[in-house]
Amino acid sequence: MDTIPAVVADAARRFGSAEALVDGPVRMTWHELNDQVRATAGLFAARGVRPGDRVAVCAPNTHHWVLTALGALTAGAALVPVNTRFTAAETAGLLDRTAAKALVVAGEFLGRDRLRELRDGGHRIPDFVMTVEPDRPWRPLDHAAPAAEPGPDDVSDILFTSGTTGRSKGAMSAHRQALGVARAWAELGRVTEDDRYLVINPFFHSFGYKAGILVCLLTGATILPQATFDVAQAADLVKRERITVLPGPPTIFQSMLDLPGADLSTLRLAVTGAAVVPVPLVERMQHEFGTVLTAYGLTEAVVATMCSPDDDAETVATTCGRATAGFEVATGDQDEILLRGPNVMLGYLDDPLATALAVDADGWLHTGDVGRLDDRGYLTITDRLKDMYICGGFNVYPAEVEQAIARLPGVTEAAVVGVPDERLGEVGKAFVVASGLSAADVVTHCRGVLANYKVPRQVEFTEALPRNASGKVLKRVLRDAGA
């Protein structure tokens, strides 16, 4: 089973009347999920979506995302997940660059109407728009599924990730690759049809989509999405729905463990990462849940290393585990982490130069992260060649924020670094050379053009930025000043 549509059909055969998807009042068996996915594929085909077209999905974690995404893939389209925190301009950029034929978009959600924002901004909107309401159960009309199905090497998805130049890049994966990393994740997590998986990681991220939805399709585990994370609601879901599997950043587990009266006794597997994980937290999680895993990956490779269920707390907290999913791991110049294997992305969409810079002639993906391998083959991340920082579990690339600030009249130049934050792990601090502006001016401007997690939380004005002899801004000096 090397295509996602084939795995959906196989799940219906294998798991049949078992519960596949639970989202509030919506409860579907695997048979029902397969029927709805095929009907959705037929709806896309009826509205002009053909194999090889791109379908963008901009919606929160609900059953709508699962059905429409899998339906688009079953119609032979490539999936383009869109970050729900993106502004209209950011969303429009992805729609234009992928020439999206269809857009699935949530109606009003968290006080925003994304479709109206696109229209009000005069942006191009795809030929077919499917609006879904996050609070309302949704079922497509009865359409026959299209006859054509994708092949294992066809593009399954295009996930966008920013780079140090500030221009986002669309990492393309094939069906066999998306499933390959999901299988490896499922095997190390020992996920089975007896599991119930609460997915709080956003579906627009590879962790929520590939290590979430696809893992459940392969194993028969029940998918339980949470549209917006709330610690009390999540704890209630764990108890009420007997959740056994829960991945997420460390702060989520800390918050849930500290919640008075929380009953997390059904959890057997917690997977964390995306930030520093304290050893005492892992020890507490192992005591409460049993199995705790950490992993390392990136959009271009998804999951490259992962711990095993037998690893001790020190190993889980301080390393990212060993190579998995067929990957080779090595370190190159400046101890940069290099990855090679069958699941390295196909390349960046319409960007052969960036692809060649990322994946060398020998097939090694240059990650931009710095690390070391111990005698056991376990990987530890020690630094980043890139200036990227992680805010609330989301990657932020300073170059993109700096470019946004530079467009504000009165700004001469700006540099952004990540600084520690107790709640979010890291937040942005902008050092700005400007005249006639306040910190509020900078923040307000950024809120208008950037997703919320990219907006700097701190702004400091300075007469000049520190530079080395070649004129490069010394981000290390700024980080030390901002800490």
The structure tokens listed for 135 are: 């609070």
> Which residue in 1, 85, 49, 63 sits closest to 446, CA to CA?
85
The structure tokens listed for 366 are: 């240059």
Look at residue 163 and tell me whether its pLDDT is greater than 60.
no
Q: What is the pLDDT of residue 326?
A: 95
Look at residue 188 and tell me whether its pLDDT is greater than 80.
yes
Q: What is the pLDDT of residue 166?
A: 58
> Which residue in 102, 58, 38 sits closest to 203, CA to CA?
58
Containing 225, the helix (H) or strand (E) segment is: strand 222-225
Largest CA distance in the chain: 68
Helix (H, G, I), strand (E, B) or coil at 428: strand
Beta bridge mates, 339: 329, 365
Residues 56-79: tens digit of each pLDDT: 999 999 999 999 999 999 999 999
Domain ranges of the chain: 4-379, 392-482
Residues 380-418: tens digit of each pLDDT: 887 666 678 889 888 888 878 988 898 899 998 899 999
Q: Give the pLDDT band of residue 24 (cuts 50, 70, 90).
A: very high
DSSP codes of every residue in 8-64: HHHHHHHHTTSEEEEETTEEEEHHHHHHHHHHHHHHHHHTT--TT-EEEEE--SSHH
Note whether 4-379 and 392-482 share their fold. no
- Cβ-Cβ contacts under 8 Å for 384 (sequence gap 6 or more): 368, 369, 370
Q: Give the pLDDT band of residue 165 (cuts 50, 70, 90).
A: very low
Look at residue 186 and tell me whether its pLDDT is greater than 90.
yes
Q: What is the pLDDT of residue 164?
A: 43
Q: Give the pLDDT band of residue 54 (cuts 50, 70, 90).
A: very high
Q: Span 239-267, mean pLDDT?
A: 91
CATH topology of domain 392-482: GMP Synthetase; Chain A, domain 3 (3.30.300)
What is the pTM (predicted TM-score) of this model? Answer: 0.85
Residues 145-160: tens digit of each pLDDT: 787 789 999 999 999 9
Helix (H, G, I), strand (E, B) or coil at 452: helix
Residue 133, number of CB atoms within 10 A of its CB = 14
Distance CA(133)–CA(150), nearest Å, equals: 29
Distance CA(323)–CA(326), nearest Å, equals: 7
> Which residue in 227, 181, 230 sits closest to 207, CA to CA?
181
Residue 412, number of CB atoms within 10 A of its CB = 12
Q: Among 117-121, 187-191, 251-255, 354-358, name the one with the lowest average pLDDT.
A: 251-255
Q: What is the pLDDT of residue 143?
A: 82
Mean pLDDT of the chain: 92
Q: Give the pLDDT band of residue 51 (cuts 50, 70, 90).
A: very high
The answer to whether the beta carbons of residues 169 and 92 sit under 8 Å apart is no
Look at residue 356 and tell me whether its pLDDT is greater than 80.
yes
Strand 269-272 and strand 291-296: the pairing is parallel
Q: What is the pLDDT of residue 457?
A: 96
Residues 309-353: tens digit of each pLDDT: 999 998 998 899 999 999 999 999 988 999 999 999 999 999 999
Residue 368, number of CB atoms within 10 A of its CB = 17
Q: Span 251-276, mean pLDDT?
A: 85
The structure tokens listed for 311 are: 């690893």
Q: Name the phi and psi angles at 75, rounded to 5.
A: -80, 0
CATH code for 4-379?
3.40.50.12780
Q: Span 159-180, mean pLDDT?
A: 84
What region does 278 belong to: left with phi over 0, alpha with psi -120 to 50, or beta? Answer: beta
Distance CA(191)–CA(203), nearest Å, equals: 19
The structure tokens listed for 144 are: 């026959």
Look at residue 437 and tell me whether its pLDDT is greater than 80.
yes
The structure tokens listed for 394 are: 């989301």
The answer to whether the beta carbons of residues 426 and 390 sit under 8 Å apart is yes
